[in-house]
């Protein structure tokens, strides 16, 4: 009888260790996911800096068409579509069940993506306006 009680105790202890291991693995996966989301936010911010650099060069006075073949505007359109996809996916995810770290990563990525979308849209509009002057 004592050996069966001891076996039950050992089984319960092993079960607690398995659950703790699974919890630590899931926390590690969430941490890695949050780090990837932060990395994506950082890459979007770098893209925003490039956009701002191009906008400042345009304001400095360019006496020729910037986007003759439309590839830059197409690239900006593609960037905006990708950002829209990211924002739709973020909107569809319930953040209540995630850790605080994941929630912060979701909020940061959402905020950064909205900001970069607006900057890309503005640059696209400014290129259109700039190049229209040379077509007339």
Give the model confidence (pLDDT) of 34-74 as tens digits. 888 899 999 999 989 988 988 888 888 777 777 778 888 88
Q: What is the pTM of this model?
A: 0.73
Q: Is residue 60 part of a domain?
A: yes
pLDDT of 14 reads 65
* Structure-token pair, residue 72: 């830059």
Q: Is residue 114 part of a domain?
A: yes
Q: Which residues contact 83 (CB under 8 A, 6 or more apart)?
A: 44, 113, 116, 117, 120
Chain-centre distance for alpha carbon 132: 33
Secondary structure of residue 93 in the 3-state scheme: coil
Q: State the helix-helix crossing angle for 2-59 and 100-135, rounded to 10 degrees.
A: 20
Q: Is residue 26 part of a domain?
A: no
Q: Is residue 11 part of a domain?
A: no
Q: Is residue 84 part of a domain?
A: yes
Q: Is residue 10 part of a domain?
A: no
Domain count within the chain: 1
The residue range of the domain holding 89 is 33-135
pLDDT (mean) for 111-117: 92
Q: Is residue 2 part of a domain?
A: no
Q: Is residue 51 part of a domain?
A: yes
SS3 assignment for 8-71: HHHHHHHHHHHHHHHHHHHHHHHHHHHHHHHHHHHHHHHHHHHHHHHHHHHHCCCCCCCCCCCH
Are 55 and 129 in contact by the 8 Å Cβ rule? The answer is no
pLDDT digits (tens, 9 = 90+) for 16-33: 667 766 665 666 777 888
Phi, psi angle pair for 69, to nearest 5°: -90, -5
Position of tokens 């986007």?
Answer: 67
């Amino acid at each position: 009888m004592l050996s069966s009680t001891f076996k039950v105790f050992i089984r319960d202890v092993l079960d607690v260790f398995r659950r703790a291991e699974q919890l630590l693995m899931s926390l590690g996966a969430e941490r890695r996911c949050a780090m990837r989301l932060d990395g994506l936010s950082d890459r979007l911010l770098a893209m925003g800096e490039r956009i701002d650099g191009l906008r400042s060069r345009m304001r400095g006075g360019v006496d020729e068409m910037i986007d003759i073949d439309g590839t830059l505007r197409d690239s900006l359109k593609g960037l905006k579509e990708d950002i829209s996809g990211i924002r739709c996916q973020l909107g569809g995810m319930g953040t209540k069940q995630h850790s605080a770290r994941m929630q912060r990563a979701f909020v940061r990525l959402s905020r950064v993506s909205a900001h970069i979308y607006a900057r890309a849209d503005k640059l696209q509009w400014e290129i259109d306006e700039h190049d229209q002057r040379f077509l007339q």
